[in-house]
Amino acid sequence: MVAHSASVQDYDGAKSVFDQAAAQGRTERLELIWADGIYAKPRIVEAAAQHNWKVEVIKRSDEVKGFEILPRHWVVERTFSWLTHNRRLVRDYERLTSSVECFIYLAVYRVLIRRFAKAGL
């Protein structure tokens, strides 16, 4: 997991995030990155290509008015929902990105432990 400060636009920080994630050595199985429409920029695709990753941008159709269900968009929304069940992640309380990363790990561990307990593992 990699995070950067809120003063950096997500699409500007993508290359840094990709590089840091690859340097951590936990991305050997990563092949495809689903991204929101804001990430439809050549620099994002180029940054991912340096690590042999493909970026698939999920964006709304310009022709559809109102609500539209987007494929794979629910994955991100569901993950944010899981994370915001933890009080510390609902608001920006932390000053350091390393603190936020730790609380995100704790939130994900909590989800996994509950799943394992439900499955009887």
Quick: pLDDT tens for 56-73: 888 777 777 777 777 777
Mean pLDDT score, 76-100 = 79
pTM above 0.85, yes or no: no
Mean pLDDT score, 69-92 = 78
Instruction: Dump strand ranges (E) for the chain.
Output: 32-36, 54-58
Q: How far is CA 86 from CA 34, 66, 105, 106, in A?
A: 25, 31, 11, 9
* pLDDT at 1 (0 to 100): 65
Q: How far is CA 48 from CA 26, 33, 34, 65, in A?
A: 15, 8, 11, 32
**3-class state of residue 61 by DSSP:** coil
* Amino acid letter for position 89: L
Which residues touch 46 (CB under 8 Å, ≥6 apart)? Answer: none
Cβ atoms of 83 and 107 within 8 Å: the answer is yes
Would you tell me how many other CB atoms lie within 10 Å of the CB of residue 49?
A: 12
